[in-house]
Amino acid sequence: MINSGSAKNIIVMAGAGISTDAGIPDFRSPGTGLYANLQKYRLPYPEAIFTIDYFRRKPKPFFVLAKELYPGQFVPTISHFFVKLLAKRGLLHRHYTQNIDCLERVAGVESDLIVEAHGSFHAAHCIGNKCRKEFPQDWVREKIFNDSIPHCDKCNSLVKPDITFFGEGLPARFFDLLEGDFASCDLLIVMGTSLQVHPFAALINEVQSTTPRLLINRERVGESKTRGMGFDFDGSFAGSMPHRDALVLGDCDEACLLLADRLGWTDELLGLRAAFIDKQKLEHI
Q: Catalytic site residues?
A: 118
For the chain, where are the alpha helices, taking DSSP H only? Answer: 52-57, 60-69, 78-88, 103-107, 137-145, 172-184, 252-263, 266-283
Secondary structure (3-state) at 190:
strand
CA distance 34 to 267: 34
**Is the backbone of residue 148 left (phi > 0), alpha (psi -120 to 50) or beta?**
beta
Neighbouring CB atoms inside 10 A of 223's CB total 16
Residue 190: phi and psi, rounded to 5, are: -115, 125
Q: Which residues on adjacent β-strands are paired with residue 115? A: 96
Using only C-alpha atoms, what is the Rg of the chain? 20
3-state SS class at 245:
strand
Contact 200, 191 (CB under 8 A): no
- Residue 136 dihedral angles phi and psi, to the nearest 5°: -70, 150
Helix (H) or strand (E) holding 119: strand 119-126
Three-state SS for 15? coil
User: CA–CA distance from 123 to each of 133, 137, 175, 231 (Å)?
Assistant: 11, 5, 19, 34
